[in-house]
Amino acid sequence: MDYAQFQALSREDVAQLVRDAGPVTGVFALNGTRRWFQLEYGHEGQAVGQAYFEAITDRLIELTALLFDYGVHTLLVPLLSPHLFTSRGQEYTSRTIGALTYLTRTPKFLDFYRQYNIAARFYGDYAGYLVDIGQSALLAEINTFNEAHLDEVRHRLYWGVCAHDSVTTTARLAVELYAATGQIPSNEEMIRTYYGADIPPVSFFIGASKPRAFDTPLLLTGREDLYFTVAPSPYLNELQLRDILYDHLFARRKAHSKYHEMTAADWDALRSFYEQNARQTLGVGMRVHEWGLWQPTNQLEFDRR
């Protein structure tokens, strides 16, 4: 299927193509939410508070719903890293705690889970961090949230919290499984124990800014397709997602080129493309000092003659 044909399809037709290739596991790694909020709702120096949580709640629900509407079955959303609990001061720690309670208590999220028949839960090494900051009650609430049972599950949604380094946790789980069974656990058993369900490997990863995949223990195989938006994650839009899905389903799935069928003109065009871009490297950028931000440099020159 070519690009124009794909873009002419309805949302449901694209979703069916995604489901036919599935079950698809996607990662949507949030980045740049404070910048997005300042640009869309805030003013210079405005504190991140209730207005921020309400705005990002609405946008996060919109984007996760969009991914599910396009056929994604399981979605992992890395949200919070340890430094939010430990290195930005008490005020920011309190905001981080507030973000967690939003996911477990806010009617908007709870209604969303019910509407889409979502089995939602947390993953990561958050337990120790919550205990260390005196949030044992919140940890108990999250554990109860994780154990909620649905009679019908259409989608799975995993909120990643402190999932940056899973070595200690996975090692402990492996030892516990071995002690219980007397056998070295398989990768599938480790995934089931860590995530609470059988999850296929990641199909695609959507991040923002600097290209790097993170916070998805046991599920990255090297076969996942990686995508990184230039703008902060909340700016992801439907047309952009359709471009990603076309690339994932078709552009990267073409059969290997048959070199023996290439003409001399084809080889000349290929040589020209490589020569034009001999110094280009995907992922290279520059720091914009006025903003304190990394931005990708312009890359790839391509003569489509």
Give Cβ neighbours of residue 93 (< 8 Å, ≥ 6 apart): 84, 85, 86, 133
Beta strands (DSSP E) in 32-168 are: 74-80, 118-123, 155-161
Domain match, 279 and 150 both: no
Nearest to 55 by CA among 243, 232, 291: 232
Domain match, 161 and 270 both: no
Domain match, 30 and 111 both: yes
Judge whether 109 lies within some domain.
Answer: yes
Nearest to 250 by CA among 205, 283, 204: 204
Domain match, 229 and 269 both: no
Domain match, 48 and 192 both: yes
In this predicted model, which residue has the larger pLDDT, 179 or 135? 179
Lowest mean pLDDT among 17-26, 46-55, 145-154: 46-55
pLDDT, tens digit, for every residue of 76-95? 999 887 766 666 667 767 87
**How far apart, in whole angstroms, are the C-alpha atoms of residue 21 and residue 15?**
10
What average pLDDT does this structure show over 214-235? 93
Judge whether 191 lies within some domain.
Answer: yes
Judge whether 257 lies within some domain.
Answer: no
Domain match, 172 and 269 both: no
pLDDT value for 304: 47
Say which CATH number the domain at 135 has: 3.40.1180.10
Domain match, 223 and 247 both: yes
Half-sphere exposure of 207 (CA within 13 A, CB side): 14
Structural domain that includes position 213? 10-251
pLDDT value for 114: 95
Split into its structural domains, the chain has a count of 2
Judge whether 168 lies within some domain.
Answer: yes
Domain match, 183 and 272 both: no
pTM (2 d.p.): 0.89
Judge whether 197 lies within some domain.
Answer: yes
